[in-house]
Structure 1
């Protein structure tokens, strides 16, 4: 796979928007309400392969590319790029994704249950 550019995930754009979103008042409200740290392991094609790691820290209200530095995240969520987008945009139910194996969760299930489309900005388009 010579042409696997550093990262050409659709998720990159969404997580960039998320980063902007968390600096707004609406974003700060969400961070206050949720208060968990999520590590996202996003794979282009198959869960666990060519993983790109992001941290959504809703304690501090920030999005970081890379693993969580402050100990252990409350929940680590693994999915394929397209499934993450579907979940974030509300096109796929996170519980259904989990049951179908499209979403893998490590850590706190109660934290994972707060990982819903509500925490994401509504994108104009991706």
Structure 2
């Protein structure tokens, strides 16, 4: 999954692990995750240097993670810092709390954004993040 990694971003390690977890799912697990989530997340992550990287988690059609903007259009775009994504993935920060405190911004389906926590948790248990 090295095509997902971007130099200088902790998020690339996390999302690479999530992609690996998705790849390890059986067809039934993948279908269940897609059915449960039914959405495309576009993550716009800024690192400490102010650089932005974009990843897409497709849990609507393919059950994959890839680098770059969502194709087709994302159901929700989540804008956050590299540090905040790391805290979310580690379970140290709640997604709703991050949103309420302005650490995380969304465009599109806000209710879908609340499912990102669950996606990271299920991938974490599979990938041992």
Give TM-score, length-normalised by structure 1. Answer: 0.82
Q: 1:55–1:84: structure 2 CA closer, same or farther, 3 Å change rule?
A: same
Note the C-alpha offset of 1:119: 4.1
- The count of aligned residue pairs is 117
Runs of 5+ consecutive residues of structure 1 not aligned to the other structure? 1-5
* Deviation readout 1:22-51 (Å, 9 max, x if unpaired): 1213851323311110000011027xx411
Find runs of 4+ consecutive structure 1 residues off by over 6 angstroms.
none
Aligned partners of 1:67 and 1:10: how far apart in 2? 19
Indicate the RMSD between aligned Cα atoms, in angstroms: 1.9
Runs of 5+ consecutive residues of structure 2 not aligned to the other structure? 1-5
| 1:1-126 matches, cutoff 5 A | 7-23=7-23, 24-25=25-26, 28=30, 29-45=32-48, 49-59=50-60, 60-70=62-72, 72-116=73-117, 117-122=120-125, 123-124=127-128
Give TM-score, length-normalised by structure 2. Answer: 0.81
Aligned partners of 1:108 and 1:69: how far apart in 2? 16
